[in-house]
Amino acid sequence: MNKNKEFLYLQLADKIEKMIGAGAYTIGDKLPSVRSLHREHGISISTALQVYTHLERQGWVEAREKSGYFVQFSRQGLPQLPPVSNPVQTASKVQVSERVAMIRNTSSNKHIFSLIGASPDTSLLPTAKLNKALRQAAREESKAYIPYSDVTGYEPLRRQIAKLSLNWGGAVTPDQVIITNGAIEAATLCLRAVAKAGDTIAIESPTFFGLLQAIENLGMKVLEIPTDPVTGVSLDKLEEVFKKKKVQACLFICTYNNPLGSCIPDNSKKQLAQLLHKYHIPLIEDDVYGDLHFAPERPKTVKTYDRDDLVLYCSSFSKSLAAGLRVGWIINSRYHEKLAQLKFMSSASTGLLPQLLLVKYLEQQRMDLHLKSLRQALSIQSMQMTKGIQQSFPADTRLTRPAGGISLWVVLPPKVDTWELHRKALEHQIAFTPGALFSSQPKYNNCLRLSNATPWNDDLAWAVQTLGKLICKQLK
């Protein structure tokens, strides 16, 4: 009898949890009252109350006095945040590409349960509308993609990108934009425009290995700056470095850093812009995750506050529309001529076909509506992945709580070796990204990055659970 009742409330709680997961209810939504659960599901008031108590305990629901129950991303009972990072404060050579190659080779296996996802799952993207735009481009611009394009890219797309900058308070003109083969090429061109081999670049710690590779690629060095998992790079430490003239430039993902998910608050971004001005040091701002904010408001960028044009803003459509299009861009005037020259030397110009498609899409489809539903899905997936980790990982696991983006950073007890864990997980067909890839120093080997790019499902749940078991095994 008791068991049966327990079964009933768990069943209904599970149903509501799934509806939240599917986006039927989203963060902030009011849930049905206890009374309406009682009426509509033929359960007792006390069972209905049990449903919400359970969901509350799981962190899915918040009770507001005299108002009822609301969907929320409860912080109650969540793992502690990772500490501010503490990298060694000396410039060092980067040598991550060998390790990255090892991971890359394993992750291309199609039979793997991937927790790696570097861009949102295809099911979250407006494929039908992109395809409509493609067919329209084929119909209306049937010859436009044949010859070489302008080295800076297709003018109508540069115009659209200039418009998109309004979202973060930019006032950009099309002639400040250079279209690139994704954001990695963009960052590479920017690095070459402001620094040369042997120079030192300030980066966040940890930092996305793709950026570390770009720096390694160019024979530059890095200086890793302590980074807070919520508010990003430490401006005090950065100013010390600026004072001592230790770096030639900065390369930061200021909004939803990969892997930390940290976001420099708007007023600190403004302060950072002032620091750049004071010491006359350029910043390459990689903003590929900027549109993926879980809260309604889009954060600003450092570029927003950049009166000196010292910020070389980089972004792409890889995280918001389609990574396979390989279209990114740079916004900057100060280094424009140099950047255009480097682009011409590196790849002549960016292919026209994806640019034509993007122009049709941006002109005629509602990207804002797509982004709204994408953000909602990513926010829920982030919450679900967090729950999964909370349920299966050791109790002293530390975990980020990003307010946007597509990654979670897990800090495990120092004893855990995630490089070895990766090897073990592969035996179970599970892939994640080991922490050691995210630094030039021998650090973060007890950390790992998990992606919330894919809608939560039983396979993912199983993979996270299995990973938890493997970690516990290592700890014994």
x/- letters, 66..105, toward a copy of itself (CB under 8 A):
-------------------------------x--xx--x-
Q: Does 345 bind a copy of itself (CB under 8 A)?
A: yes
Q: Does the protein bind a copy of itself through residue 327 (CB under 8 A)?
A: yes
User: CA 420 to CA 436: how far, in whole Å?
Assistant: 11
Euclidean distance between CA atoms 433 and 99, whole angstroms: 11
Task: Give the span between the Cα atoms of 400 and 315, in whole angstroms.
Answer: 23
Q: Is 150 in the site for a copy of itself (CB under 8 A)?
A: yes
Position 458, amino acid: D
- Residue 257 near residue 263 (C-beta atoms within 8 A): yes
Handedness of CA 145, 146, 152, 156 (dihedral sign): negative
Say what angle helices 209-217 and 97-107 make with each other, to 10 degrees: 130
Q: State whether residue 152 is helix, strand or coil.
A: coil
Among 200, 205, 213, 332, interactor with a copy of itself by CB under 8 A: 213
Closest contact distance (angstroms) between CB of 233 and a copy of itself is 24
Query: Is there binding between residue 184 and a copy of itself (CB under 8 A)?
Result: yes
CB 318 within 8 A of CB 182: yes
Residue 346 touches a copy of itself, criterion: CB under 8 A:
yes
Closer residue to a copy of itself in complex, CB, 197/395: 197
| Contact between residue 270 and residue 305 where contact means Cβ atoms under 8 Å apart | yes
Indicate the DSSP class of residue 321. I
CB of 371 to a copy of itself, least distance (A): 16
- Rounded distance, CA 315 to CA 184, Å? 9
Residue 127 binding a copy of itself, by CB under 8 A? yes
Is residue 112 close enough to count as binding a copy of itself by CB under 8 A? Answer: no
Nearer to a copy of itself, 248 or 400 (CB): 248
Our finding on whether 138 is near a copy of itself (CB under 8 A) is yes
Burial annotation 63-82 (CB, 10 A radius, 16+ → b, else e) = eeeeebbebbbbeeebbebb
Q: Which is nearer to a copy of itself, 100 or 275 (CB)?
A: 100
Q: What does the block give as tokens for 172?
A: 């950009």
Q: Does 195 bind a copy of itself (CB under 8 A)?
A: no
Which residue, among 348, 354, 363, has the nearest Cα to 318 in the 3D structure? 354
> Within 8-47, which residues bind a copy of itself (CB under 8 A)?
none
- Our finding on whether 326 is near a copy of itself (CB under 8 A) is yes
| 337 lies in the site for a copy of itself, by CB under 8 A | yes
Q: Whole-number minimum distance, CB 147 to a copy of itself, in Å? A: 5
Closer residue to a copy of itself in complex, CB, 104/278? 104
Per CB under 8 A, does 140 bind a copy of itself? no
Helix (H) or strand (E) holding 62: strand 61-64
Q: How many helices (H) and strands (E) does the chain have?
A: 15, 17
Does 148 contact a copy of itself by CB under 8 A?
Answer: yes
Residues that bind a copy of itself (CB under 8 A): 97, 100-101, 104, 108, 118-119, 122, 125, 127-128, 130-131, 134-135, 138-139, 142-151, 181-182, 184-185, 188, 197, 210, 213-214, 216-217, 219, 318, 322-327, 337, 340-342, 344-354, 357
